[in-house]
């Protein structure tokens, strides 16, 4: 069983437990302005989605000291367009609590970074204050992708639909994705190829927002993405390992 299969199996068990508890949704956590995430990414210029992440399966503990509220504030002050918050608890040491508390201290859109495999998680994302969800083509069927995008739309949530190769990208577009994320990391082997986004960019219509994910470390990487018509970068480890996140983000421009 590869790491992605293990994460999915763990997520299935977590969703089963969460369903037993049910949703306790506060009205003020629901998106008051629909589709804030994709609207922000459609503004002129290159955009940065900065990630709040304590650990990963490939790197282990990334941030032993994890003042997630301070990190989120730093990102907003540094000019991030949006913040991605890891909520997967077993492999990334994330928590829904991180996102719900960050929602209370920043105004920019929040992406719930998790492994969405059930409609319950989409409703859950709305309840904890997310503006967007992650849908991963590698773990979802075509029918589920379409269904989940429609459910997210009904709740005013944007969907970042993640693909790694041409087949997955076609699947995302056929499902109606308005924001695609091309992962430069192979989720089965965790190897990284930062040229992956550039190769796949030509397959995506101009009216679809294109986000490059993983392995982005330098201003040269950002310049390369800009040159290839990419709209945004999702950056996690590079910023999380930096003691001065404002300076690190400024250095990527």
Among the listed residues 100, 129, 127, 132, the one whose alpha carbon sits nearest the alpha carbon of residue 116: 132
Given 88, 168, 213, 237, which residue is catalytic?
Answer: 213
Check which CATH number belongs to the domain holding 96 and give it. Answer: 3.20.20.70
Residue 98 structural domain: 3-252
pLDDT band at 192 (very low <50, low <70, confident <90, very high): confident
Q: How confident is the model over 26-67, as pLDDT tens digits?
A: 545 555 689 999 999 999 999 999 999 999 888 889 888 899
Active site residue 6: no
Please give the average per-residue pLDDT across 120-142, as a whole number.
96
Instruction: Say if strands 209-213 and 179-183 run parallel, antiparallel, or are unpaired.
Output: parallel
Could you tell me if 203 and 170 are in contact, meaning their C-beta atoms sit under 8 angstroms apart?
yes
Active site residue 54: no
- Looking at the structure of the chain, the number of domains it has is 1
Active site residue 10: no
Active site residue 213: yes
């Amino acid at each position: 069983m590869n790491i992605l299969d293990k994460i999915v199996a763990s997520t299935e068990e977590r969703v089963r437990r969460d369903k037993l508890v049910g949703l306790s949704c506060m009205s003020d956590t629901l998106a008051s302005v629909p589709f804030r995430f994709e609207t922000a990414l459609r503004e002129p210029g290159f955009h940065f989605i900065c990630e709040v992440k304590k650990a990963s399966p490939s790197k282990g503990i990334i941030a032993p000291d994890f003042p997630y509220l301070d990190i989120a504030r730093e990102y907003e002050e540094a000019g991030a367009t949006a913040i991605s918050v890891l909520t997967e608890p077993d492999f990334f040491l994330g928590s829904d609590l991180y996102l719900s508390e960050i929602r209370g201290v920043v105004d920019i859109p929040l992406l719930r970074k998790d492994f969405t495999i059930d409609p319950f998680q989409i409703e859950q994302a709305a309840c904890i204050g997310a503006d967007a969800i992650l849908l991963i083509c590698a773990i979802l069927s075509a029918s589920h992708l379409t269904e989940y995008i429609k459910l997210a739309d009904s709740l005013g949530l944007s969907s970042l639909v993640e693909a790694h190769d041409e087949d997955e990208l076609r699947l995302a577009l056929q499902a109606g994705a308005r924001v695609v994320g091309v992962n430069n990391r192979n989720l089965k082997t965790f190897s990284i190829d930062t040229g992956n986004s550039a190769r796949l960019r030509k397959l995506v219509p101009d009216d679809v927002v294109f986000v490059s994910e993983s392995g982005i470390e330098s201003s040269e990487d950002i310049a390369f993405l800009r040159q290839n018509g990419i709209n945004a970068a999702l950056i996690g480890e590079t910023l999380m390992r930096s003691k001065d996140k404002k300076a690190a983000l400024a250095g990527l421009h």
